[in-house]
Amino acid sequence: MNNSPLVSLIIITMNHEKFIEQACQSAISQTYPNYEIILLDNASKDKTFENAEKVLSQFSQHYKMIRNTESFGVAKNINIAITQASGEYVSLLSGDDWYTENSLAEKVSYIQKNPVDFILSDGYKYYQDEDKTTDTYTPKEKKQVIESLSNFFHENVSENKTSNVGTFVKREMLVKYPFDENINTEDWDMNLRLTSKGYKIGFIDKKLFYYRILSTSLSRNWKLMKDSYEKVTHKYIDYIKADQELYKKYNLKLIHFKYEILLSETDSPTEKEKLQTEWKKEKYRIKYKHPVLFFKLLLLKK
């Protein structure tokens, strides 16, 4: 393999005028020597496109800017951008996140040295409203991700346990298996689809990205997340139902969505307390089959 294969760094953005310059600056500042940048603006109504162009015009290598006349979902935008990419590999970045300078170099080095088809990595979470940076994973969470890579599909089919910022993948795989445009959690769905087909996933234990969390982030929209969760798991529901522990986790996740939605719809402290109690009861009915143990634990939790 060529020591410096061409990488297509794809940036998908919409109404990120406050953040896109940081994303683009991180893109043009990569230490890796051979890459192009494809930026797709999803019909932004602010200065996102202009701010991005101001930064990318400083890039000495090839870059391309696409501007939608109407807005689409993230998955469709990625699929559109993939058709414009020329790289052997693709690295995906949202317009409100950013990379460390060594992100591409570390990914290329890893995929050349390991028998894997796509890669995730460690990174940081940046909470915009609080101006606070934290690790993406706790030490325990990261250990579990790394130790379960060989069994990734099974470990993640009932719940997404990874952060998918900066996913690095062979372009030919995304051409053959495009992102599902009917799903909002398109990254989790793609991880499951590829690993279910036998493709190998790797994990770089280095912090290579910053994931910006906004009050408007998808992870805060419980109804949308529930809908997406059901669409993804429906594809593998027979597999999930065939495993008692997976099916339990699946049902617990549905209950989680149910009560998060109900809690988000009320401002009454009394109603919130009532819902929390009901949530607790439903959760323990699923987790513990023995009735004596169930009621003992329920009493302890009150």
pTM: 0.89
Q: Can you tell me the distance from the alpha carbon of 67 to that of 293, in angstroms, rounded to the nearest whole number?
A: 59
Task: State the architecture of 7-217 in CATH terms.
Answer: Alpha-Beta Complex (3.90)
Task: Write the CB contacts of 233 (distance below 8 Å, at least 6 apart in sequence).
Answer: 157, 158, 240, 250
Per the prediction, the chain carries an average pLDDT of 92
Q: Where in the chain is the domain with CATH 3.90.550.10?
A: 7-217
| pLDDT per position as a tens digit, 274-286 | 999 999 989 888 8
Residue 296 scores a pLDDT above 60: no
pLDDT digit string, tens, across residues 64-113: 999 999 999 999 999 999 999 999 999 999 999 999 999 999 999 999 99
* CA terminus-to-terminus distance, the chain: 60
- Report the pLDDT averaged over residues 6-27: 97
